[in-house]
Amino acid sequence: MIKFSPENKTFYLNTKNSSYIINILDNGLLCHKYYGASVAEDNMEYYNLFAKHEYTPNMILNGYTFSKDNLPQEYPVFGRGDFRSPAVCVERPDGRCVNDLIYKSHEITAGVPKIEGLPYFNKNTEGTATLKIVLTDCVSGFESALFYSVFENEDAITRHTVITNTTDKSLKLRSADSLSVDFEAKEFDFLTLRGAWARERHINRRSLSYGTTSIESRRGSSGHQHNPFAALISRNTTEESGEAYGFALVYSGNFRISAEVDQFSSTRLQMGINPNGFTYVLSPGESFTTPQAVSVYSNSGLCGMSHSFHNMCKNHLGRSAEKAVKHPIIINSWEAMYFDITEKRIENLVRSCRGLGIDTFVLDDGWFGCRKSDNSSLGDWYIDKNKFPNGLKNIISICKENGMSFGIWFEPEMISENSELYRRHPDWCIHTPGCAPIESRSQLVLDMARSEVVDCIYNQLAALLNEYDITYVKWDMNRNITDNGSASLSADAQGEHAHRYILGVYSLMDRLTKAFPDVLFEGCAGGGGRFDFGILYYMPQIWTSDDTDAVERLKIQYGTSMVYPVSAMTAHVSACPNHQTGRITPFKTRGDIAQICNFGYELDASKLSSDETEQIKEQIKLHRKIEPMIYNGDFYRLISPFESDCCCWQIAAQDKKNSAVVFATQKATPNSGGFYIKLRGLDPESIYTVSPMNIKLHGKTLMNAGLPITKEYFDFNTAIFELTAE
Ligand code: GLA
C-alpha cells in the first residue's frame, strides 16, 4: 500500500479506492503528483510540465522549465519563489524568514508511530504503514519530517509533521501546518460546519473562487463557530455520488483551514494550528510536533466521505475505538433543576426513575464548593455539605437501589474568582499581569500550561473518583480563552501558550482516563463547543449541543454526522416548552430524534405524566434494539433538513439484517400527498419486514422504489420504521 519506485523517485500511497502520489524532483524538491481515485503506479514525470509561467522565478531541470509558484508541493515554504501560502515558516536568529526545503531521506515502516502528548489514530493498526520523508532547509537550518500513515480500508491517510532545529542557535517557528495539499483545479465547493452556541455544525457549502477562503478558531478551543473540518467537493457532488476530499484535524485548540485559489486556478488546501498569535521557540536540537490531520477520499459522494471518517473514529481513534466501552442511557439533572439542588430533591428525582430502564443518573452542575449560581466555586472540587450532608454516599446508594449507577459533572479547566482555589492561588488563572482578566459566565480559565495546576486538578478529581463509585464523568468547558500568556513561559515563548494550554488539558485527560479506565468520560464545552477528534481520542462521546429542542437537533445532528459517527453524539429528551427555543413538540418526537445517538433524558422524572412514563419505557425498549447499530452500523443521511421541510436518516447493521429509519417533519405542507424515501445499506435480495406497517419488501424495492411515506405529517411529527430481514 506504500511503495517507492527508485527509478521514478516516486512514492505511491494506495488505499482501497484512492491513490496519493509524491515525487522527488532531481533538484530535491518534494513534489505532489496526484490525489484522487485509484491510478496505476506509472511514471508521472510529465505531470509537472504545466508548472512553467512568466513573471515568476523559474528554474530549469532536465531541460524543463518550472516555476515553484505553480509546482504542486507536499510541504511548501516561503521566500524562494512560491508566493502562495506556506505550510511552515521558520525565523532565523537574524530575524529572516526565508526557507527552502529539499529532500534528505525517507523510511517506510509498518504500523503508525506514537505521537507523544497528542491524540492520534492509534488503534487497530495492523495492516497500516507509514511513510516518513525528511526534508532539510539549507537557508534556515531546520528539518521537517513528514509522516503519512495509510489506513487502506478506510480510504484515509493521516499526516503530521515534526520540525527539528538542526542548528546550534534558537530558531522561531512562526507557523507549522499539519497538512498541505495542492490540487491543479479550482472547480471545488468548500464544505464546512459553521455554528454558534446552541446552533452547532450547520452545513455551509460555497464555491471556491480566486483568493483565499478560510475558517478558523482563535478562541482557545476548536469552538462552536467552525469545526476543524473542511471538504473540497466537486460542484455536482451529492450524498450518493461525486468526488469528495475530506480533511479533519485531531486537535481541540486554535486552528485554521484555508483553501487558496491562485492565479493559475490551482487550489492549495492547508490545515493546522492557527498561526495567529502562535510562535514556538526551538532550542538547538529541539523538535515541535504538529497535531495530526486526517484526509479521506470518496468517489461515492458525501456519504462515502462520512463513512470513512466514522470508521476512522470507531475503529482507530483512542477511546472511541474501544469496543468494550458501554454507553449508558442516562438521566441528567441540569435542565431538571439547574443549580437548585439538594439531597432531598435529587433523591426524589432518582426515586422517580425506578423501573424506567435508565442506566445512570448524572448529577450536573451545582454540587461542589458553595455553588448556588454560576458565579462561584469552580476549582473547589469537594462536595457542598450544605446540599449533601452525607457526601455522595447516600445518593449513590439510592441510585443503586433504583437500578442506576452514578455519574457527575466537572469543569476541570476553570476557576471562579469566588473560590478557595482562587484565594490560595490568585495567579493560577490565565491573565495579563497588571490587567484585570476578562470574565465570561463569571469565570476565569486555569493556566493548564502549568504542570502544578494540572497536578492540583488531577488530585482533586482523582480523590473523588477514588472515594465514590462514579461510573460516568461529564467534562465541561464553558468559555473561550482571553488574555493568553503564562507566568511559566519566558517572554519570547508567550506565543506557545494557547498550544501548551491544550497539551496540558490533554495530559490531564490522559492521566484521568488511564487511572480510571472503567469510568465513561463524556466531553462537553457549552454543548458542542469542542466537538473534534482530539476530544474523541480521550472521550468516546460528546454532548452534542446545549440546544435540546428536537427540531433544532435535526440540523445539529445531521451536520455533525458529516464527520463524526452517531456513536460520538449524545442526545437527550428534555421537557417542553423547550428551554432554549420555547417550542412545544410531542414527547415521541423528542424521543425519536434522540434515538440514534447516545440516548438519555434531561428532565425532572418526578413531574412526568403517566403517559410520558409509559413512553419512556417504550423508547428505552426501542433504543436497546437500535443500540448495536449505533456502535457497529452505518449511518445514512436520506433527506437534508437544510434543503427540505422534512428530515430523514437511517442506521443499518453491517450484516444488513436490521435497520431503523427516522423520519421527521420540521414544518408540514398542507395537502401535500405522500412520497417515497429511497433507503440505503440493505441487502438487495433479502426480504425485510417493515414495522409499524408490518409489510414485507425486498431490499432492492426499498432502496430503488423507496419506503412509502403515506401518512399525513403535521409540524414536528416523527416516525420510526424498523426493518428486520427474514
Ligand atoms: C454547560 C453544559 C450544560 C450544563 C451546564 C452546567 O452549559 O453544556 O449541559 O452542564 O454547563 O453549568
Residue 245 in contact with ligand 1 by CB distance below 6 A? no
d(CA 62, CA 25): 10
Report the distance separating Cα 654 and Cα 629, nearest Å: 8
* Across 504-521, average pLDDT: 98
Give the C-alpha separation, 129 to 65, whole Å. Answer: 35
| Average confidence (pLDDT) over 647-661 | 98
Residue 193 phi, psi (nearest 5): -115, 115
Q: Which of 340, 375, 478 to mutate to test the pocket of ligand 1 (most atoms within 8 A of CB)?
A: 478
Spatial distance between the Cα atoms of 330 and 128, rounded to a whole number of angstroms: 37
Catalytic residue among 546, 549, 592, 634: 546
Ligand 1 center from residue 306 Cα (angstroms):
28
For the segment 676-724, what is each residue's pLDDT rounded down to a tens digit? Answer: 999 999 999 999 999 999 999 999 999 999 999 877 778 999 999 999 9
> Concatenated DSSP letters for 447-467?
-TTSHHHHHHHHHHHHHHHHH
- What letters, b where the CB count within 10 A reaches 16 and e where it falls short, cover 523-546? bbbbbbbbbbbbbbbbbbbbbbbb
368 lines ligand 1 (CB under 6 A): no
- The SS3 of residue 303 is helix
pLDDT in tens, 527-560: 999 999 999 999 999 999 999 999 999 999 999 9
Distance 334 CA to ligand 1 centre (A): 7
Helix (H) or strand (E) holding 142: strand 142-151
Buried b (16+ CB within 10 A) or exposed e, 407-441: bbbbbbbbbbbbbebbeebeebbbbeeeeeeeeee
465 alpha carbon – ligand 1 mean position (Å): 20
- Measured in angstroms, how far is the CA atom of residue 527 from the centroid of ligand 1? 7
Task: For ligand 1, say whether the CB of 475 is within 6 Å of any of its atoms.
Answer: no
CA distance 177 to 706: 45
CB atoms closer than 10 angstroms to residue 665 = 23
Cα torsion angle, 9, 15, 16, 19, sign:
negative
Radius of gyration of the chain (CA): 27
> Catalytic site residue 340?
no
CB of 334 sitting under 6 A from ligand 1:
yes
- Ligand 1 pocket residue status of 74, Cβ below 6 Å: no
| Spatial contact of 120 and 158, defined as CB atoms under 8 Å apart | yes
Q: Which residue's alpha carbon is nearest to atom 2 within ligand 1? A: 526
Question: In sequence order, what DSSP letters do the residues of 700-713 get, joined into one string?
Answer: HHHHHT-EEE-S--
**Which grid coordinates belong to 208?**
471556491
Rounded Cα–Cα distance for residues 436 and 479 (Å): 17
547 touches ligand 1 (CB under 6 Å): no
Which atom of ligand 1 is closest in space to residue 526's alpha carbon?
Answer: 8
Retrieve residue 496's grid coordinates. Answer: 506557545
Q: What is the pLDDT of residue 321?
A: 98
Q: Which pLDDT score, from 0 to 100, does residue 248 have?
A: 99
Q: Give the separation between CA 574 and CA 610, rounded to whole angstroms.
A: 16
| Phi then psi dihedrals of residue 234, to 5 deg | -65, 155
Which amino acid is residue 573, in one-letter code?
A: V
Options 476, 547, 549, 592, the catalytic residue: 476
Closest residue CA from atom 12 of ligand 1: 365
CB 270, CB 248: distance < 8 Å:
no
Q: Residue 50: is its pLDDT beyond 80?
A: no
* Pick from 64-78, 219-233, 499-513: least confident: 64-78
DSSP state at residue 191: E
Q: Strands, DSSP E only, in 275-404?
A: 280-282, 287-289, 292-298, 330-332, 360-363
Q: Which of 109, 123, 121 is nearest to 158 (CA)?
A: 121
3-state DSSP: the chain helix, strand, coil percent, rounded to 5? Answer: 20, 35, 45
Query: Among all chains, which residue has been given the C-alpha cell 455533525?
Result: 560
For residues 323-350, give the mean pLDDT: 96
Phi/psi at 680 (5° precision): -135, 170
The pLDDT tens digits for 65-120 are 888 998 999 999 999 999 999 999 999 999 999 999 999 999 999 999 999 999 99
- Flag whether pLDDT at 63 surpasses 90: no
Mean pLDDT of 296-318: 98
| pLDDT classification of 137: cutoffs 50, 70, 90 | very high
* Band (52; pLDDT cuts 50, 70, 90): low
High-pLDDT (> 70) share of the chain, %: 99
Looking at residue 51, its pLDDT comes to 66
- Alpha carbon distances (Å) from 717 to 414, 472, 558, 647, 713: 40, 33, 17, 11, 6
Q: Which residues lie below 8 Å from residue 222, measured CB to CB, with a gap of 6+?
A: 228, 249, 251, 252, 253, 255, 529, 530, 531, 532, 534
- Confidence bin at 49 (pLDDT 50/70/90): low
d(CA 274, CA 545) in angstroms, rounded, equals 24
Instruction: Give the pLDDT of residue 138.
Output: 92
pLDDT of 15 > 90? The answer is yes
Assign 607 to helix, strand or coil.
helix
- The finding on whether 364 has its CB within 6 A of some atom of ligand 1 is yes
Does ligand 1 lie within 6 Å of residue 86's CB atom? no
Mean pLDDT value across the chain:
96
pLDDT computed for residue 592 by the predictor: 98
Q: How far does residue 525's CA lie from ligand 1's centre (Å)?
A: 8
Say how many Å lie between the CA of residue 570 and the centre of ligand 1.
Answer: 13
Q: Does the CB atom of residue 522 touch ligand 1 within 6 A?
A: no
CA distance 658 to 45: 50
Per the CB < 8 A criterion, the answer to whether 257 and 228 are in contact is yes
How far apart CA 465 and CA 158 sit, in angstroms, is: 35
Rounded Cα distance between 720 and 157, Å, is 36
In the residue annotation, 510 being an active-site residue is answered as no
User: Do strands 101-110 and 520-523 pair parallel, antiparallel, or not at all (unpaired)?
Assistant: unpaired
Q: Which amino acid is at 101?
A: L
For ligand 1, atom 1, which residue shows the shortest CA distance?
Answer: 526
- Three cell numbers written together for 413: 479547566
